[in-house]
Structure 1
Amino acid sequence: MSFAVTSSETARYEVLMANARSRIKTIQEPEASQKGVQLPLWPVGVRAVPNGFLRSALFGAIAKGRRRYVNGEDLAAVDGVTIRYKGERLDQGDLDVWESVLHAVRLQELGGQCRLTSYALLKLMGKTDTGKNRATLQNRIERLVANAVTVKQGRYTYIGGLIRFAAKDEETQEWVIELDEKLRPLFAADQFTQIEWAVRHELDGKPLAQWLHGFYASHAKPFPMKVETLLRLCGSESELRRYRQTLGDALDAVAEASSAHGEGFSYEIRGDLVHIEKKAQGAQRRHLAKKASRPRKPRG
């Protein structure tokens, strides 16, 4: 038995196939014009920060109180990172706000308007929606807008504000926040760190412990470092003698919070050197494996 296919049926089949191929192409090969600049999509349980910011005094471990105004000074940073800053000094609470804004913005095009309420932003920070917290949030956003930072990290230099623009509807408490899309290279694959938010949040109110957690999280395999160097890098204005006394307590807090959330961290202070042992995470493990597989150059 044979079946005849009419010309009209053939035409309908060709139209259906053409439409299907068009849909497949649209899914697999989006047009360049539809692609916007976007931050990497990191998991819900972490916050992403450029390494240069974690390895410097930009978001310092400073005490509460009146902020010193920095008029275009070079801030302490590790070798390979240069940061010049102008504005009120930033602390770990300011970093919490900036991390939370980044966390929300990562789901949309960088440089566009991110809309979220004070309630939503405070919730991302693990804060309750009270009048006091709203006022503190606004002060921190104002500080993040009213600054100028020049950061050289790797081959790239960014010059601009940490938040480009912010506005708020006082009735609905909805914020409109914009970040500069030129921040994107600071989030290249090997240029940022995913901070375990549960650990950082548990260290809330302990600025030195938060800074140390971020600093060591940005290193796959930390090397011994002088107490004096850590004092300079964290931006603390404490005297060295007093800093030595508080450093051990802060490291204890990091170790305890890390252990509570399955993140290995231990330390030992031998003489003037701080030795850290930690478990490398995700991309850091891959980095160490890649580094170990490289052939070593012969000595001599």
Structure 2
Amino acid sequence: MSLIARVPFAFARSALFAPKPYRPGPPALPMRVIPAAQDYRITLSQSGPCLTQAHASAWQVATTLAARSPRDEVRLIDALRALGLASVQTSAKRRFLALFDDLAASRVEIDTRRQDYRGPLFAYRRLPRGRVSLTWPPGMRELLEDEAVYLPLDGRATLGAYPLATWLHDYIATHRRVYEIELEALRKLCGSSLTAHHFKPRLRLALDQVQASASFFTRYEIAHGVLTLHKEPTRVLLLAPQAKAAKVAETEHLDAAQRAARARSQVCL
């Protein structure tokens, strides 16, 4: 059964998770503004380690699996398989937990048309038998329940070795059938460290890879410095005001119940 992740627009239309190779132990940085879409208003800042598409994959898998668990638990072996990794040995688990450490050390400030979130990406603790338990920060459930795109993780996992392709996969999914953007604007938006001269051929390669793996992405054209994307509709969650109010009340109740359950579990009997 395919896992479906909910990815906030603020994550998919920004350079929060940059298309760069992952290197362990990135230095923590102070709160700074992250490039994000301006045609769809997103203001985003982040403090902590520099995050990459490897962190994005770990975050999507972890939150998706935790949401399916009544105890918000994730088995590391399930997470590694969802990432499409052939190896689920100790070294792979250790690397995955290093990504978790970076995510837990990160704090984001998000302001969009529909969201105002300030807090960590998540918190977690290690459990016996290769498991972790996630803690949902206050407001995180609302972030996932509104202004988010639904993405099958199996198609994305096939792009794991190509950071720009995974970034484009999520970015393209948030748009309607046809969308245009200047190449220079896209280069800055995704946080690419490539020069404009080297970005265009790398972009073509990445787009071809996305088209081969994502059924919703049909074709693209590049002409006169502009990229035109053509796609089929994807499932996007944008709540009506009344539904959003009800959802906020529901998630506040769930968060309170979770905190109470954790408090009881820490009492010595």
TM-score (norm 2): 0.80
Unaligned regions of 5+ residues in structure 2, if any? 238-269
RMSD between aligned residues: 2.0
- For 1:1-300, list aligned pairs within 5 A: 44-65=2-23, 67=26, 69-79=28-38, 80-107=41-68, 113-127=71-85, 128-163=87-122, 165-169=123-127, 172-189=129-146, 191-258=147-214, 262-283=215-236
More contact order relative to length (CA 8 Å, sep ≥ 6): 2
1:56-112 per-position Cα deviation (integer Å, ceiling 9, x unaligned): 000111134364643211100012111111011111111111111211232357xxx
Range that drifts further, 124-133 or 86-95: 124-133
CA distance, structure 2, for counterparts of residue 233 and residue 248 of structure 1 = 16
CA distance, structure 2, for counterparts of residue 257 and residue 106 of structure 1 = 25
CA distance, structure 2, for counterparts of residue 232 and residue 68 of structure 1 = 22
* Structure 1 position 282, deviation (Å): 4.2
Paired positions, count: 233
CA distance, structure 2, for counterparts of residue 155 and residue 118 of structure 1 = 33
CA distance, structure 1, for counterparts of residue 97 and residue 236 of structure 2 = 35
TM-score (norm 1): 0.72
Q: Say which SS state the counterpart of residue 223 (structure 1) adopts.
A: strand
Q: Note if contact 1:153-1:186 (Cα within 8 Å) is conserved in structure 2.
A: no
* Structure 1 position 178, deviation (Å): 1.1
CA distance, structure 1, for counterparts of residue 188 and residue 34 of structure 2 = 9
Residue 72 of structure 1 aligns with an amino acid whose one-letter code is M
Q: Say which SS state the counterpart of residue 247 (structure 1) adopts.
A: helix
Q: Say which SS state the counterpart of residue 86 (structure 1) adopts.
A: strand
CA distance, structure 2, for counterparts of residue 68 and residue 225 of structure 1 = 32
Q: Say which SS state the counterpart of residue 246 (structure 1) adopts.
A: helix
Residue 64 of structure 2 aligns with an amino acid whose one-letter code is H
Q: Measured at CA, do residues 49 and 282 of structure 1 come closer, stay the same or move farther in structure 2, by a change above 3 Å?
A: closer
Larger radius of gyration, structure 1 or 2?
1
CA distance, structure 2, for counterparts of residue 57 and residue 140 of structure 1 = 17
